A and B are shown apart, each in its own frame.
Chain A
Amino acid sequence: MVTEMDQNVNIDDVDTKMEKKSLIHCTDVNVFYDDKQALFNVDLNINEKEVTSLIGPSGCGKSTFIRCLNRMNDVIETCSFNGSIIINGQDIYDPEIDVVELRAKIGMVFQKPNPFPKSVFDNVAYGPKLHGRFLNKSDMNNKVEDSLIKAGLWDEIKDRLNEPGTALSGGQQQRLCIARAIAVDPEIILMDEPCSALDPIATARIEELIDDLKVNYTIVIVTHSMQQAARVSQRTAFFHLGNLIEVGDTGKIFRSPDNEQTEAYVTGRYG
């Protein structure tokens, strides 16, 4: 008995010391727009509760890849996918999968802040309402407050919940979009260049926020700024011309990448 207990404790210890568990497994991902291939045999594992950044020059397929993770590419008629992406042991491209449920587990933040033209409160409450959660009014209020606190926005706009979300500043709008995404308690948050439309101060706030959020969420971020990738992410994947060139710990990618192309890109020799 005692030995068994010990063994359990040991296993737990080993788990925390071991490399983080990977949550998303992508194998052989190929994406086509009509006849044009945008991604070539991408194999990438994304770890749980850390920030993975996708970098690479424009048109390298990183946005296409991130949009595969919540099947946002489905709405583009000419886009076709093959390969497999397994999240939590489930192939998300399985025809049996309900896209709506999938997207409820995976939040997404876009390049340009896109709050709904509704009040701040309704923006955050939209997701929970859509999925039929927190039907009780006070529960919903708590959820909205909680999400806004997590997005670091509560103190700034707690008196402005009835104002339209579109009336906030750019940085606030983007944090509102993050609050909206986390209000449905997703496991994963995808961010497609979330700071490219923001000024440096708003960008810094979002980066701090990403740092806080990684405790609870798995975050995948596409960014054009290599400094940003270096600052916020634990792992970095470098894409070029639709190929995943190299993936590894951020420190390693930026200091001593294995691949020449990666080195050329992170040192600013091209891209």
Chain B
Amino acid sequence: MTDKALTLKRKFAETRFKIYGLASLFLAMVMLVVIISSMTYRSIPAFTNYGINLEIKLANEFIDKDDLDYRGIIRETIFSLDSECDDRKCRRSFSKLFSSGAAYDLRDALEEDESLYEKNFNFYILFSDDADLFYKFGIDKNLPENERRLNDQEILWLEGFQEKGLVEKKFSSNLFTNGDSREPEIAGVLGAVIGSMYTILITLIISFPIGVLAAIYLESFASKNRITDFIEVNINNLAAVPSIVFGLLGLALFINFFGMPRSAPLVGGCVLSLMTLPVIIIATRASLQSVPPSIREAALAMGASEMQVVFQHILPAALPGILTGTIIGLARAFGESAPLLLIGMVAFVVDIPQSVMDPATALPVQVYIWADSPERAFVAKTSAATLVLIFLLIIINLAAVILRKKYELKW
């Protein structure tokens, strides 16, 4: 009787435990789905842009290719839509509806296809963010005019374009091909992505060899004494130091003392290396320790030197763990923003960085900058940039899984 009761009790406890596990897993999945889907939903407007197709008339005009007033051409073209608008105030209000990036787009188009200089052609001019948002979400006309982003006249114009069927919605490639901008419709994440890549590359180059070699030395060669114990305690402590502290260190050491350039991925990479190093060392040591000692003995007994044992047997066997640890450390560095703020990688950088010395920002910092911007169109942009960040992190983690599977040894 009591035996039976005990069995029942044990089985009940097991079932209960299983249910707890499933419930927490389910909760985690739901959270993930909620975050990703709300992010995706909010980012949808960022992937499209409204614009207008207009004919640019360059035929029969004298053109000086070196000194062409692109802005003037665009202005002339858009004013052809409403010939009554000829005073300064009206013109300013009218041109506010179109993106200031249109002139650059025109320049790029002309540079790409020189034959366009001599003819009339249709050109897609982007609307500015306010006009774009009007087409996407409409506007509350009951609000007093001075509390709206668009006044009555501007709304009339925009409705007019739509009635004439001139308005066209296109995929916003700017988001992926441009650097940052004050104008939401031409701002993109490419500069930040490249900046992040450079930063991570520097982090990898610095922290991977140093971390792995330090771990191998500590694990296989260093004699056990007070100094190595002290070093070990310090490494474990470093892994727990808040990242912003590394930012302060980077600012004081790399920029103020060594005089390295501000805002550069080089410095960002150095700072993130300091942060990633302990993670890599700890992961590497753990995976070196997990290699069975019998392999070491076998190789030693065959007459391999200590170094041959490490590099021919222990390291290959520990490689999957080392790579996983490294990539997880790098993924953490990739999503890090606090230390980068301190070394100036929070700057407004329009140009796409060409080298590790160029001023750049990183993707998480770009998210922060956009989230902080007042223009409403940046709300969607922020979500889109976050999605890009999550997507890149998924790729990095996937790489970790693939590498681990590839190098995993069967015992």
- Give chain A's interface residues, CB within 8 Å of chain B: 70, 72, 75, 77, 100-104, 107-108, 110, 112, 114-117, 126-127, 130-131, 164, 166-167, 177, 180-181, 184
Contact = CB atoms under 8 A, between A and B. Distances in A.
Contacts of B303: 100-104, 127, 130-131, 184
A202 B297 CA distance: 23
B317 interface: yes
B302 A110 contact: no
Interface in B365-411: 409-411
Nearest to A131: B303
Given A77-B224, A100-B305, A110-B294, A166 B410 contact: yes
Contacts of B313: 116
Given A130-B302, A130-B308, A167 B294 contact: no
Interface string B297-323: 111111111101000010001000000
B31 interface: no
Given A104-B303, A127-B303, A131-B303, A116 B410 contact: no
B53 interface: no
A102 B224 CA distance: 27
B317 A117 contact: yes
26 contacts: A72-B297, A72-B300, A72-B301, A75-B296, A75-B300, A75-B306, A77-B224, A100-B303, A100-B305, A104-B302, A108-B301, A110-B298, A110-B301, A114-B292, A114-B297, A116-B298, A117-B409, A126-B302, A127-B302, A130-B302, A130-B303, A164-B410, A166-B410, A180-B302, A181-B301, A184-B302
B294 A114 contact: yes
B93 interface: no
A117 B410 contact: yes
B410 A177 contact: no
A130 B409 CA distance: 21
Interface in B262-312: 292, 294-306, 308
Shortest Cβ-Cβ A-B pairs, 3 listed: A108-B301, A114-B294, A103-B303
Select the residue from A102, A103, A166 with max chain B CB neighbours within 10 A: A103
Select the residue from B297, B299, B317, B411 with max chain A CB neighbours within 10 A: B297
Chain B interface size band reads: 20 to 34
A177 B298 contact: yes
A108 B410 CA distance: 23
A148 B302 CA distance: 16
A180 B302 CA distance: 8
Contacts of B409: 117
Nearest to B302: A127
Contacts of A164: 410
B223 interface: yes
Contacts of A108: 301
Contacts of A131: 303
Contacts of A116: 295, 298-299, 313
Contacts of B308: 130
A77 B306 CA distance: 13
Given A77-B223, A112-B294, A117-B410, A130 B300 contact: no
A132 B305 CA distance: 14
Nearest to B309: A75
A139 to B, nearest CB: 19
A110 to B, nearest CB: 6
Given A100-B304, A127-B302, A114 B410 contact: no
A136 to B, nearest CB: 21
A85 B410 CA distance: 39
Select the residue from B294, B300, B411 with max chain A CB neighbours within 10 A: B300
A112 B224 CA distance: 27
B304 A114 contact: no
Contacts of A100: 303-305
B301 A167 contact: no
A107 to B, nearest CB: 7
A163 to B, nearest CB: 10
